Amino acid sequence: MPDQSQTLAERECLVEAKGLGVRDGGRWLIHHIDLNVCRGEIVTVIGPNGGGKTTLVRALLGLLPAETGTVSRADGLRIGYVPQRLHIDRTLPLSVARLMTATQPSGRNEVDAALAETGVEALRDRPVQALSGGELQRVLLARALLRKPDLLVLDEPVQGVDFGGEAVLYQLIADLRDRRHLGILMVSHDLHVVMAATDRVICLNAHVCCTGAPHTVTQDPEYLKLFGPHSHEPAGTPAYAIYEHHHDHSHDVAGNVVHEHDHEHGSHDAG
User: Which is closer to other proteins, CB of 13 or CB of 96?
Assistant: 96
| Smallest separation (angstroms) from other proteins to the CB of 83 | 5
- Pick the stretch among 58-66, 183-191, 212-220, 227-235 that binds other proteins (CB under 8 A): 58-66
Q: What are phi and psi of 139, to 5 degrees?
A: -65, -45
Q: Is 237 in the site for other proteins (CB under 8 A)?
A: no
Return the residues of window 96-115 that contact other proteins according to CB under 8 A.
Answer: 98-99, 102-104
Which of 39, 126, 147, 246 binds other proteins (CB under 8 A)? It is 147
Sheet strands side by side (includes 68-73): 27-38, 13-24, 68-73
Nearer to other proteins, 2 or 50 (CB): 50
| Site size toward other proteins, by CB under 8 A | 22
Among the listed ranges 32-40, 55-63, 179-187, 244-252, the one in contact with other proteins (CB under 8 A) is 55-63
- How far is 57 from 46, CA to CA, in rounded Å? 12
As a whole number of angstroms, the distance between CA 73 and CA 233 comes to 39
Of 4 and 91, the one with the shorter C-beta distance to other proteins is: 91
| Least spacing, CB of residue 25 vs other proteins, in Å | 10
Residue placing its CB nearer to other proteins in the complex, 35 or 60: 60
Nearest CB to other proteins, comparing residues 68 and 95: 95
Touching other proteins, residues 149-168 (CB under 8 A): 153
| Per-residue binding letters, 68-97, with other proteins (x by CB under 8 A) | -----------x-x-x--xxxx-xxxxx--
Minimum CB separation of residue 23 from other proteins in Å reads 16
Binding positions for other proteins, rule: CB under 8 A? 58, 61, 63, 79, 81, 83, 86-89, 91-95, 98-99, 102-104, 147, 153
